[in-house]
Structure 1
Amino acid sequence: LTASTCDKMNFKHVTAMADYALRIRDQLAYVNEHSFNNFKIRIGINIGPVVAGVIGARKPQYDIWGNAVNVASRMDSTGELDSIQVTEDVRSILEKKGYPLRCRGTIQVKGKGSMVTYFLEGNRDPNKMTTIHENESNNSDANNMDKTDNKNDESLLSG
């Protein structure tokens, strides 16, 4: 599980997570090509508010919790091998930033019911970018992130 900070002005945290996920997938393909291995990976990305903290007295560990974390984990567990599955909220941001996405369709997500999800297909095309302003986003989690001053808002990558 990986998390990033929140950039409410231009959603750089979302594009950073997308770039990171693509890089992980590409590096794993390179390792497989140049070795006797055949590793597979599933990656899920979601955005939203989280709670973060250190737990444990004997072996303290930093961890994050919340609905956004659970959904990111579900994007991973319900994804396809060697794919990067994202939520509608993530898709709406990445699409405006020029990333190619493919609609997977509606899937059943434990604890959430039916969700339409998307696969991140590759790197962004700067020629297809549109500007995103704070008040332009039409998805619920991105809107909530704009309206709150929660320092624990994060993008989540699960894989």
Structure 2
Amino acid sequence: MNVKSHLEKIARLELLRARLDPLQDFELWFWAGMTAGTHAVNAALHLASITSSDDAFPMQPGVYLVPQTDGTLRATFCEPGDVLHVGRPKIEAPVPEDIASMMHLMETIEQYRDPCVREGLEPSAAIVEECDAALLRCLQLLNDRLHEVAHEY
């Protein structure tokens, strides 16, 4: 996906999160935040020219759905484009400090995926606060990078 598409998805996911109660709707709130953060990491990786911003949608590490001229999508092996989650696929190129921080923040969020969404750990206000703070910082780092790129032209 391209940077503009990632930014549009982040905006829609943030609007959704704002309508949800973080504790009562934790699973939806959490997935929307985790997905928004992943889009932020992908946009930052594209802006840094580390990954491809082609219109190819990740299915598995290294396998992307690529639009065809007839409007269909075809599974194709490709160079790294969008990551599914931080570390899937692993980015082999050097990553700038701000993007490395974004990835670490996403790991902070994702540490609660299995316990709270799959294993029955009841989410607490502290978990919500930690996830929300990590996502907000991740989005702030993306905005900082977007601001820097805008000044390069």
TM-score, normalised to structure 1, is: 0.32
Flag the structure with higher helix content.
Answer: 2
TM-score, normalised to structure 2, is: 0.33
Flag the structure with higher strand content.
Answer: 1
